[in-house]
């Protein structure tokens, strides 16, 4: 049994990851300020120790890290669009917060950290498919903040002989995402509420979409590998999907193939094309996504239907 501190554990990815870790025999302590995550997102809130605190409070991080074997750091200001509107808050949470998680872990004697990074926003507008050798040139404060986080991860791994693994996530799709603000949630909510699907730009922008269960298996693999010093991996599907194609899949799986679509101006900070290869993660971690975007969208739609029904009771 490994004792794991999971920051942001009540959020979308954390609430999917926590039960997977628990079923593998790990003891999970969740560290979350509950600004967006909720204990009710968890499969069984009573199965976890919950520390309600903010990652910007380093002393709270130190206290929560004491006696832990590893930290998986998911807590973040996770929106490109919101980072453009609120760059200071984005910096405070993603850069200062990540520094305090790393330093808090170091002070508590924890030598293993997994950091949730990002692919597209960090790399910026580079010709896809990108990989771990692609030169990062972020075009949003969110992307810049994750690049800074990776910089501190590398520095702590080498300066303090820690095992720190940064995992660059694709766009994640799946259950427990009702509160998220990405395209998938926006499309499905619009369909449920009878509003047109809104696409920013002409719909040709592309992304890499990964089912949350596949992502969590990749996080577990990176965590259990405990590779020395600093390592970075893309966790991706390797498939380029346009926003227009995503909207078409949303209409199809919801049974509304003719649901209206409207276009608005492209938003600042968003990359034009992005998808990544996961060859390195496959080779070093045994990572292999199993769920297609079509199946991921269908599963998410059915979860959202059930969630919406419960919310209306």
Query: Is 278 one of the annotated active-site residues of the chain?
Result: no
Task: In whole angstroms, give the CA distance from residue 74 to residue 12.
Answer: 10
Q: What are phi and psi of 161, to 5 degrees?
A: 55, 55
Catalytic residue among 48, 142, 211, 278: 142
DSSP string computed for the chain: --EEEEETTTSHHHHHHHHHHHHTT-EEEEEE--SS--GGGSS-GGGSEEEE--TT-HHHHHHHHTT-SEEEE------HHHHHH-HHHHHIIIIIHHHHHHHHHHHTT--EEEEEEESHHHH-S-PSSB-TTSPP--SSHHHHHHHHHHHHHHHHHHHTT-EEEEEEE-EEE-SS-TT--SHHHHHHHHHHHTPPEEEESSS--EE-EEEHHHHHHHHHHHHHH--SSEEEEEE-----EEHHHHHHHHHHHTT-TT--EEEEPPPTT--S---B--HHHHHHH-------HHHHHHHHHHHHHHHHHHHT-
Q: What are phi and psi of 217, to 5 degrees?
A: -65, -35
- Residues paired with 211 in a beta bridge: 173
Catalytic center residues = 142
């Amino acid at each position: 049994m490994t004792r794991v501190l999971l920051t942001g554990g009540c959020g979308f990815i954390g609430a999917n990851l926590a039960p997977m870790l628990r079923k593998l025999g790990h003891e999970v302590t969740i560290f979350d300020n509950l600004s967006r995550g909720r204990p009710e997102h968890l499969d069984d809130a009573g199965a976890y120790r919950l520390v309600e605190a903010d990652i910007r409070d380093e002393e709270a991080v130190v206290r929560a890290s004491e006696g832990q074997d590893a930290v998986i750091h998911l807590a973040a200001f996770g929106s490109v669009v919101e980072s453009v509107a609120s760059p200071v808050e984005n910096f405070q949470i993603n850069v200062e917060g990540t520094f305090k998680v790393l330093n808090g872990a170091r002070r508590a004697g924890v030598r293993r950290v997994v950091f949730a990074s990002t692919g597209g926003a960090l790399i910026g507008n580079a010709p896809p498919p990108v990989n771990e050798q692609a030169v990062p040139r972020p075009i949003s404060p969110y992307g810049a903040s994750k690049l800074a986080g990776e910089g501190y991860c590398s520095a702590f791994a080498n300066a303090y002989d820690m095992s720190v693994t940064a995992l660059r996530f694709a766009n994640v799709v799946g259950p427990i995402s009702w509160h998220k603000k990405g395209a998938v949630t926006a499309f499905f909510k619009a369909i449920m509420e009878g509003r047109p699907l809104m696409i920013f730009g002409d719909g040709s922008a592309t992304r890499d979409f990964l089912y949350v269960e596949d992502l969590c298996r990749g996080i577990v693999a990176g965590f259990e590998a405990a590779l020395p010093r600093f390592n970075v991996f893309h966790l991706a599907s390797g498939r380029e999907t346009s926003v227009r194609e995503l909207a078409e899949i949303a209409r199809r799986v919801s049974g509304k193939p003719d649901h209206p679509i409207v276009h608005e101006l492209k938003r600042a900070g968003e990359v034009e094309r992005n998808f990544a290869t996961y060859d390195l993660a496959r080779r070093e971690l045994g990572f292999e996504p199993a769920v297609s975007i079509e199946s991921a969208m269908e599963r998410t739609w059915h979860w959202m239907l059930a969630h919406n029904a419960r919310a209306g009771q």
